[in-house]
């Protein structure tokens, strides 16, 4: 008999989850892979983002509870007629979890919006980060607002 059923069910109501945002545009250097530093958290139920950390730490979402996570990135690139746009969700050992690419638009400048998500099995101690790349020939701004989130889905 499970005498702690209330605690087990209660975990589902407050499962590990985080959503961080950025409300200002970032100027992305052409031809260079760049990370995104986040400015604020909307919620964080498991200390997954370090608001007081270094600039590079503000790029990371840290997994403290092992499990399967739904990881999502939402942002846009400013309109431009040249070059490819790329974004990827990576984990701390350098592997790519999910990848998005947008070829040069034909017929005029188009704002490219990225909505990238995936399920990923993560051990405690794993971190997620975003890496972007564009090769338009000049610096290109992101379109605010931007968001990055991770939500625990299942135990493994």
Q: Whole-prediction pTM value?
A: 0.87
Task: Give the side-chain half-sphere CA count within 13 A for 107.
Answer: 0
pLDDT given for residue 40 in this prediction: 95
Question: Which of 1-10, 49-58, 144-153 has the lowest average pLDDT?
Answer: 1-10
pLDDT in tens, 30-82: 999 999 999 999 999 999 999 988 888 999 999 999 999 999 999 999 988 88
Angle at 126 between CA 122 and CA 128, to 5 degrees: 90
- Phi then psi for residue 6, to 5 deg, are -60, -40
The CATH number that domain 13-154 falls under is: 2.60.120.40
pLDDT in tens, 13-32: 679 999 999 999 999 999 99
Q: How confident is the model at residue 1 (pLDDT cuts 50, 70, 90)?
A: very low
pLDDT in tens, 92-127: 987 999 999 998 877 777 788 999 999 999 999 999
Chain-centre distance for alpha carbon 46: 16
Residue 6 has pLDDT above 80, yes or no: no
């Amino acid at each position: 008999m499970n005498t702690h059923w209330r605690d087990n069910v209660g975990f589902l109501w407050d499962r590990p989850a985080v959503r961080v945002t950025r409300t200002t545009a970032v100027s992305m250097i052409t031809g260079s892979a760049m990370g995104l530093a986040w400015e604020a958290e909307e919620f964080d139920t498991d200390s997954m983002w370090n608001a007081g950390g270094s600039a590079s730490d503000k790029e990371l979402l840290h997994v403290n509870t092992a499990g399967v996570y739904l990881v999502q990135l939402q942002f846009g690139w400013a309109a431009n007629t040249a070059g490819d746009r790329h974004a990827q969700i990576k984990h701390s050992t350098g592997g790519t979890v999910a990848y998005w690419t947008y070829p040069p638009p034909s017929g005029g400048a188009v704002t490219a919006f990225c909505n990238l998500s995936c399920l990923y099995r993560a051990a405690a101690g794993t971190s997620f980060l975003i890496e972007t790349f564009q090769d338009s020939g000049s610096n290109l701004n992101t379109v605010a607002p931007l968001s990055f989130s991770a939500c625990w889905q299942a135990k493994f």
